[in-house]
Structure 1
Amino acid sequence: MERPSQKLIAKTLGISTAAVSLALRDTGTISKELSEKVKETARALGYRPNPMLSSLASKRFRESDTPLSIPLVLLDFVEKDSSYRRELKTRAEELGYTLSPIEAKSLEKYANPSLTLYNRGVQGIILLGPIPQGSFREDFNWDDFSVVQCGRFLEPLPFDTVRPNIFQAMKLIFTKVLERGYRRIGFALGRHDPLLEDDESRISAALGLREVYCEAKDHIPPYFGSFTDTNALVKWAKDNKPDCIIGFHIGQCATLVEAGIKVPEDTAFACLHLNGAPYLGDARNLRIAGMEQQLQEIAYQSVNLMDQSIRHHVRGKPALPRQVLVPSYWVDGDSLPDRS
């Protein structure tokens, strides 16, 4: 008896082995009726995919001089240039995909955006947030695509997500400040408008860590006001005189220096988001201590997760969305001298 194989299924149904392969993987433009017929025949013949052959096929796919260039779309909700885009595109091409950026607002010009993407052969959608509420019409059919969210967001959609590990970053920066002998620690984390979910995570982590590791006499009120209200930030710093400020971004340190507060003489400063630019833009060229997010790794893992979903035929909204949390790393700087 002939061994059950894709070739035997094709022979039984009188179709090509390529059509059988596409039907079993739920890819391509194979009709639903034919796909079901192929699967029924596969079950009747006792066909089982060979993991070793699948692995070899994957290796050939990735190392081929003429990759298949499976189309992916990057739905971009970031108005300014994003550090993720280049890294997402690079990793996608390494795995044999073509990643096409599309501004999310441009989808509104299509009568049926999801059908338009489907007809272009798009297999996966990477969402680059933060994604405003009500951005998608109710008739958008997610079930046709594998979907991954990359980076921060307002409120998470029910898809797999890769983002920075916010609690890990908060705990590491707080630990470094404590190790250097600071106790009256002022949190100037600010907040976005509208509020992002990672704002809530940072604020909660800061208050919890302070409560556990700092004595009550050293507690000072945090600054969780708007990033744009620089006068309120300066007033808060002058009124409370923290011996160290944990700020959200390096611009806050520049605001304090411009207001006459000396760093690190009057107050030390550690920054949660150095973003590859650790030097303060003043004549002293002060190097700021703080955290660097691994943006390249976040993008890399986002595409890896997409690749995994496509290969395992995960489409639409998964029953249990996965969260991949990428840690940030510490960078020493002159703004946080050791006073221990």
Structure 2
Amino acid sequence: MSASAPTLRSLAKVLGLSRTTVSDALRGSPRVDPNTALRVKKAAREAGYRRNPLAGALMSELRRSRGTAFRGVLAAVDFNEPDRPDAAARYHRELVIGAETRATELGFKVEKFSVGHAGVSVQRLDSILQSRGIHGVILLPAWDEPDLSNLDWTQFAGVYTDYIIERPALHSVCSDHYRSMLAALQRLVALGYRRPGLFLQRHHDERLQYRWGAAFRAFQENQAGIQVVPPLVVDTFTKEDFVKWFRKNKPDVVLGHHSIAIDWMESCGAELPATHGFVCLNVLMKTRPCAGLDLQPRTLGARSTELLIAQLQRNETGIPEWPSTTTIPAHWVDGPTLRSSAGTAG
């Protein structure tokens, strides 16, 4: 072999095989005799050959589209989960729009897949992606613990668009929930609120390793002039539980994901924004106008795409040795459920 980087052509010349046979052998094609495939892989390993995961997808798509700007295909994989909240669908759509937009700008396109309940199996997904030459995978958030460990990750690079994934442990891009909660509370204090209250669905906080609740409690403990209101954390929200908590603890502003709480507050005599306030922790979930946090799913989708393409361009497939997490703070959205300047709540 020469001192230059080995190629399919140079491997084929040394082995006395066609370039197509060498390529098929390295891709694991059943068309190649197993003994020949072993010989090819051994020679490639000894020569230090590294396959570019973008090359196959690029050539395949160019042959189909006859285009000149196309660089590759990425997969956006959603987990079809029957117990996932319906409100998550809009958030996922926004993530995909962000990923598609940025991918197009960078010369890629995104194909969507669904796995799990009413979707394809992980094994079938592996076969589809490899047959189409797709080596970049964007995983959308899962409500339960996601498991894509059965994918042949030697063939793929992946990014998870939520806080943590362990099967396998991949790079992640997600909202900075902790920082966003602190920023929201600081804004509320500046508006004169002194008894902020938080209500959460237990699983919603657990899957983020309690970052909403942790930030809220840390703020209560360290912010002068704040009166402590215990958070309401339940498995499933009911008006009865909320009203009981609201009347007992008397928060002057409430933070939570479900804007139905505004109705429940008003049923207790609250007048928003005159006497009380409300902040939605994800404005995509609101069912009526209110102030809240935009978790910026389109930006998260775009950033995930950038990181994934960068991995592919560096020829980095497989499970990373040191998975990293990229966080993006939420954007504040004003609304009619908060007073516009500091004052004293009734």
TM-score, normalisation: structure 2: 0.73
Residue 268 of structure 1 is matched in structure 2 by 277
> For the Cα contact (< 8 Å) 1:142–1:316, is it kept in 2?
yes
The aligned runs of 1:1-340 (5 Å cut-off) are 4=4, 9=10, 13=14, 34=40, 37=43, 65-68=67-70, 70-77=72-79, 80=86, 81=89, 82=92, 83-105=94-116, 108-109=120-121, 113-130=125-142, 132-133=144-145, 135-136=147-148, 139-151=150-162, 157-188=168-199, 190-193=200-203, 196-198=206-208, 200-215=210-225, 218-258=227-267, 260-275=269-284, 281=288, 287-337=289-339, 338-340=341-343
- 210 and 18 in structure 1: CA distance in 2 versus 1, 3 angstrom threshold: farther
Aligned partner of 2:323: which letter?
P
Shift of 1:40: 5.2
Shift of 1:316: 2.1
> For the Cα contact (< 8 Å) 1:162–1:301, is it kept in 2?
yes
Alignment gaps of 5+ in structure 1: 44-60, 282-286
What's the secondary structure of 1:224's corresponding residue?
strand
- 310 and 210 in structure 1: CA distance in 2 versus 1, 3 angstrom threshold: same
What's the secondary structure of 1:177's corresponding residue?
helix
- Name the CA distance, whole Å, in 1 between partners of 2:20 and 2:299: 35
> For the Cα contact (< 8 Å) 1:151–1:298, is it kept in 2?
no
- Name the CA distance, whole Å, in 1 between partners of 2:109 and 2:213: 38
> For the Cα contact (< 8 Å) 1:192–1:199, is it kept in 2?
no
Aligned partner of 1:241: which letter?
K
Residue 57 of structure 2 is matched in structure 1 by none
Pairs aligned (count): 310
- 153 and 227 in structure 1: CA distance in 2 versus 1, 3 angstrom threshold: farther
TM-score, normalisation: structure 1: 0.75
Residue 51 of structure 1 is matched in structure 2 by none
1:38-87: CA deviations, max 9, x gaps? 675579xxxxxxxxxxxxxxxxx9xx953445232222026653221222
- Name the CA distance, whole Å, in 1 between partners of 2:259 and 2:164: 21
Shift of 1:141: 2.2
- Name the CA distance, whole Å, in 2 between partners of 1:260 and 1:32: 76
Shift of 1:103: 1.2
1:12-41: CA deviations, max 9, x gaps? 748899999x89xx9998978546646755
Aligned partner of 2:131: which letter?
N
> For the Cα contact (< 8 Å) 1:78–1:129, is it kept in 2?
no
> For the Cα contact (< 8 Å) 1:107–1:113, is it kept in 2?
no
Aligned partner of 2:304: which letter?
S
> For the Cα contact (< 8 Å) 1:153–1:196, is it kept in 2?
no
- 42 and 164 in structure 1: CA distance in 2 versus 1, 3 angstrom threshold: closer
> For the Cα contact (< 8 Å) 1:123–1:146, is it kept in 2?
yes
> For the Cα contact (< 8 Å) 1:114–1:142, is it kept in 2?
no
- 165 and 109 in structure 1: CA distance in 2 versus 1, 3 angstrom threshold: closer
- 18 and 249 in structure 1: CA distance in 2 versus 1, 3 angstrom threshold: farther
Shift of 1:328: 0.9
Aligned partner of 1:183: which letter?
R
> For the Cα contact (< 8 Å) 1:9–1:38, is it kept in 2?
no
Shift of 1:155: 6.4
Aligned partner of 1:184: which letter?
R
Aligned partner of 1:207: which letter?
R
Identity of aligned residues (%): 21
- 242 and 112 in structure 1: CA distance in 2 versus 1, 3 angstrom threshold: closer
- 37 and 186 in structure 1: CA distance in 2 versus 1, 3 angstrom threshold: same
Alignment gaps of 5+ in structure 2: 50-61
